[in-house]
Amino acid sequence: MSPHESEADARILIDEMLRRAGWDPANKADVLTEVPVVLGALSDIAAPGAEPVSSADTSLKRADYVLLDQQGRPLAVVEAKKKAIDPYTAKTQTLPYAEKLDAPFIFLSNGEQIYFWDYGIADARPVASFFSRRDLERLRDLRRHRTALAAVPIPEFYQSHGETFRFRDYQISCLRAIDRTIELGKRRFLAELPTGTGKTDVICQQIKRLIESGHVERVLFLVDRDNLAKQALDALFDLLPTHSTYWLRAGAVRQEKQITVALLQTMVGRVHDYTSGYFDLVVTDECHRSIYGAWQLALTHFDALHIGLTATPAQYIERNTFGFYQCRDNQPDFSYRIQDAFKEGHLCPYRFAKGLTRLLSDGATVDGEDFDPGTFERTWTNADTNRKMMAEFDRLAWATYRDQAPGQKTGPGKTIVFALTKHHAARLEQYLNALHPELKGAYAAVITSDIPDADDAIRRFKRETYPQIAVTVGMLDTGFNCRELLHVVLARPVRSPILYQQIRGRGTRTAPHIGKKHFVIYDFFGNHEYFNDSDTDVFTGSGGGGTSPAKPKVHPQPRTLRELGLEDQWLYRAAYVEVGPEGERVDKREYITDWEKAVRAATSADPVLQKIQDGQALSDTEAAALAARLNQPAHYFTEENLRHAYRQPVGGLVDFIRAALGLAKTRPREEQLEENFRAWLIAKQFTPPQVAYLQLLKNRGLAQGRITVADLFRPPLQHLNAAATGTELFGEDALKAVIEDLDHSVFATSA
């Protein structure tokens, strides 16, 4: 930063930031500059061009900018400071200007940082951009007509998909906890509710009450998977039919509707299409997955009320989640224990059926080569092992399903089998169908993200008699609801406590219409024993698993697995992109080359691709049709596969098409890290000296790819006395925690 940079230099940057928010600094109907304000007894504001007022009781000041509403009335005062000055320190100077001008809002900026101050409500806070005129008018009108949330009753009953439900006690408690949090001025709320306890129903009711009470008008509902977006849309259309809702898809035209549902991946790419004040409420489902690195930008960009929902127990939520939602003592603002849900009959309990084969326990040696059980379905497979697992499940399920649910007419009842890879899933499907040839292949079906029309496959599984069994990889472990599910088959190891509990949660929904008493988890890899989970001592993250498992050895993944061809026995238990329903593996470079060739060859004859080439946005129908055309068996070009191939976790289909056409390049890592760092700062509450210190650490992290405590004692930070300065600013323990958080949230997640 140059010591010679002036306030005039900062105003050049401020003018540009105002333009990005829709203001024209050169248009006096939008923005007034150098507005004279008389502080004192004679006058509130001097007319433009008037002679200076002199009085012992008055003083003439000038507001740098005044933003006007459509009627020409002041909406906000903007105070400009040179870069060397932290704009937050200008609060005392600027407040009298806003009060005299009757402007309800204040912005403070030095061209790099922006603070927004709704001075009648709360203290100034950092924001990512200026607000538009529409944003400020909406906030002003909401504030004028706002009523207390306590005045909006919580109904006793609600309708969902034609059925009548009573709000449960814990759901009412959650709604009241959100009310209290908002009324106390806390702008972020974190709720932990186990899978199957109605998180979506609760939040839809709260959205309705916040709108009715005048607290919010525009809502953003963020999720990180397509199936969660579809689930949210279904609930919003059903429970809030009078409020306009749409799904913002990648590359599609933005719609001015009241509720926007979006994938995190999409919103990160579109976030700069919106001002920071565009949304009044941001709801984030499975929020513990949404606050790291680039993902964090989709939350911190918006100066809104934030409500985070998670089914993950508090013990396994990273401190970043608690920090972002400003939770005390690393505890959610509201929590409902899964043990209480079982006890009170709101969730269905479970039992275990376990088995372990010799090969899965000990591995094997064939022709002098050792095959480690930890690389099963990664480097080697054994047909007899997979057949035994499926046959054992099938035998037990048919023998017990009537006891589990007396009203279940067709055996063995709805089942999800969790496989290791798509190729593994395809073979398990074949083995299951071979057990019941009379059903002609209808007994089991693979459901993964890249099969043709996965949505229709899910619908058939949930609503039709067959298939009875869905075999999946990483798709149905969250955001999938099937009340009639009686069996969960773990044909894979799971060592993540969060994933384990998400998979277990697929079966916990009650189904009184079939008399569902419990569901069964068929565990062929000792997962529940690893987590010390049982039907009498439910694993919730407070124990189990002992110490963290050692990191698995990295084994190169071959194009084809080694089939051992051994007869197994019961003891009692990379550099490729997977494409297609059978998990074919192709090299990433070959995949990208094929993708670019296919897009370029199709552009001249495809009007939708031509629209992208011309920089035009797509309609939802066009985007969906294009995705379907590209996801064909010859290539299986899907967003999931393309993100993996390009190593761009937030890319969308249109982004990859633009890259293939040479219209855009993936952003440099340094640019992504800078943006991630700004988002991380906004999520915290650091003092200006702490921010300046962290800028130094960030610069070191950019240079070497990460930042550690040890870097404080090496050049160049060592020469700047960084260790002593940081200890003075944060304290020794807090400094270590901040550096670890910075490295994890900004650098490690962007590697």
Three-state SS at 604: coil
Model pLDDT for residues 53-68, shown as the tens digit of each residue: 444 446 788 999 999 9
Question: Which range has the worst mean pLDDT, 235-249, 385-399, 482-496, 619-633?
Answer: 619-633
Whether 631 has a pLDDT exceeding 80, the answer reads: no
Share of the chain above pLDDT 90, in %: 45
| Pair of tokens at residue 120 | 């009648």
pLDDT class of 81 with cuts at 50, 70, 90? very high
What's the mean pLDDT in 715-719?
A: 83
Q: What CATH number labels 7-145?
A: 3.90.1570.30
Provide the 8-state DSSP code for 746.
I
DSSP codes of every residue in 90-107: GHHHHHHHHHHHT-SEEE
Closest CA to 143 of 256, 22, 275, 280: 280
pLDDT greater at residue 406 or residue 48:
406
* 120-132 average pLDDT score: 93
Pairwise CA distance, residues 204 & 201, whole Å? 5
Does domain 149-342 sit in CATH 3.40.50.300?
yes
pLDDT score recorded for residue 666: 59
Average pLDDT over residues 211-229: 92
Whether the CB-CB separation of 508 and 350 falls below 8 Å is answered with yes
pLDDT higher than 80, residue 705: no
Identify the band that residue 635 occupies on the pLDDT scale cut at 50, 70 and 90.
Answer: low
Q: Report the pLDDT value the prediction gives residue 547, as an integer from 0 to 100.
A: 33
Higher model confidence: residue 508 or residue 288? 508
pLDDT confidence of residue 71? 95
Compute the mean pLDDT over every residue in the chain, rounded to the nearest whole number.
85
Percentage above 70 pLDDT, the chain: 87
pLDDT score recorded for residue 667: 60
> Who has greater pLDDT, 7 or 70?
70
Look at residue 542 and tell me whether its pLDDT is greater than 50: no
Residue 435 exposed, middle or buried by CB count within 10 Å (0-12, 13-18, 19+): middle
d(CA 59, CA 187): 37
Topology agreement, domain 7-145 and domain 352-530: no
Residue 424, pLDDT score: 94
| Region 362-382 average pLDDT | 89
Q: CATH for 352-530, among 2.60.120.620, 3.40.1440.10, 3.40.50.300, 3.30.379.10?
A: 3.40.50.300
Mean pLDDT of 59-87: 93
- Cα 92–90–692 angle (5° rounding)? 135
DSSP symbol at 574: -
Please give the Cα distance from 449 to 442 (Å, whole number). Answer: 20
Number of neighbours of residue 368 by Cβ within 10 angstroms: 5
Mean pLDDT is lowest, of 20-24, 211-215, 365-369, 635-639, for 635-639
pLDDT at 575 over 50: no
Region 94-119 average pLDDT: 95
Q: Would you place residue 577 in the very low, low, confident or very high pLDDT band (cuts 50, 70, 90)?
A: low
Average pLDDT of span 534-556: 52
Whether 578 shows a pLDDT value over 70: the answer reads no
End-to-end C-alpha distance for the chain, whole angstroms: 28
Highest-confidence segment of 289-303, 337-351, 443-457: 337-351
Pairing mode of beta strands 74-80, 59-68: antiparallel
Is the confidence at residue 214, as pLDDT, over 90? yes
CA Rg, the chain, in Å? 29
Q: Where are the domains of the chain?
A: 7-145, 149-342, 352-530, 585-660, 669-750
Lowest mean pLDDT among 249-263, 351-365, 509-523, 675-689: 675-689
Ramachandran region, residue 492 (left: φ > 0; alpha: ψ -120 to 50; beta: rest): beta
Q: Where are the beta strands (DSSP E) in 162-285?
A: 163-166, 188-192, 219-223, 245-248, 259-263, 281-285
| Better-predicted residue by pLDDT, 450 or 441 | 441
